[in-house]
Amino acid sequence: MASFNGILQVDGYAGYKTLAKRRGKSNARPLRLAFCLAHARCKFVEVVKLTGSSDALEIVSILAEVYLIEQQIRGESAEERYHARQSRSAAIMRSLKAHLLDLKADISTQSALAKAINYTLKHWTGLTTFLDDGTIEVDSNVVERSMKSVALTRKNSMFVGNARGGETFAILASLVNSAKLNGLDPQTRLADILERIVSGRTTINQLDTLLPWNWSAEQVRQAA
């Protein structure tokens, strides 16, 4: 992390803010935080569920407009996403901020809605970072979905039996997830590379050919 510079997309965890603040005060590489809009949206969804607030529901609806735009520009280039966000999403977010400030002035500071508004306004700069950079996602949902398997693995690892079993489990999990990250079917790849190793078709000094990207390229060549 000490050598990283650029944008870090995260939730509102205070540790990230402390890190960015320290880096800003030092001569270290700059670090910019982009916060997750889905986390802010969830705050208002919870208010709707808890109180049935029409004001909170309206905010959720406004954010839905931003997400609709994101759906429409998904897969486009960073430049195209930037221009779409500047021409369409930026105005929605400006209007939303003004609306939040107006609401905040009219409701109890102790209400659930006020707390959701305060969270959003406090993180506003990071929540709107996506408007100025087409490479940034509107939220961190993609990363969080990919991390879900890590949490499940951590739970399942309680039953590996011993340290050696845990190491074996970790190796297999790494192989499976490496295949997934490269768009490969884990079972097909594992069956093939194990057969190659056991049969001797792939020798110990050729193991690099079994790396996901090399293995995949070979499959394409064979198919051709």
- List Cβ<8 Å contacts ≥24 apart for 187-192: 189/215
CA atoms within 13 A on the CB side of 213: 1
Q: Does the reported pTM lie above 0.85?
A: no
CA distances from 212 to 170, 176, 209, 215, 217 (A): 17, 10, 8, 5, 9
The predicted-structure confidence for 86-130, as pLDDT tens digits, reads as follows: 999 999 999 999 999 999 999 999 999 999 999 999 999 999 999
Asked if 68 contacts 120 with a C-beta cutoff of 8 angstroms, the reply is no
Nearest to 185 by CA among 199, 200, 175: 175
Name the burial class of residue 199, with classes exposed (0-12), middle (13-18) and buried (19+) by CB atoms within 10 angstroms of its CB: exposed
Nearest to 139 by CA among 7, 13, 17, 10: 10
Helix (H, G, I), strand (E, B) or coil at 27: coil
Nearest to 51 by CA among 124, 6, 114, 106: 114
pLDDT band at 24 (very low <50, low <70, confident <90, very high): low
> DSSP secondary-structure letter at 76?
S
Asked if 68 contacts 98 with a C-beta cutoff of 8 angstroms, the reply is no
- What does the H/E/C string look like for 158-213? HHCCCHHHHHHHHHHHHHHHHHHHCCCCHHHHHHHHHHHHHHCCCCHHHHHHHCHH
The predicted-structure confidence for 32-91, as pLDDT tens digits, reads as follows: 788 899 999 999 999 999 999 999 999 999 999 999 999 999 989 999 999 999 999 999
pLDDT band at 151 (very low <50, low <70, confident <90, very high): low
Nearest to 117 by CA among 89, 131, 97, 137: 97
Identity (one letter) of the amino acid at 166?
G
Mean pLDDT rounded to a whole number for the chain? 87
d(CA 87, CA 68): 14
Cβ contacts of 29 within 8 Å, gap of 6 or more: 3, 4, 5, 23
Q: Where are the domains of the chain?
A: 36-139, 160-223
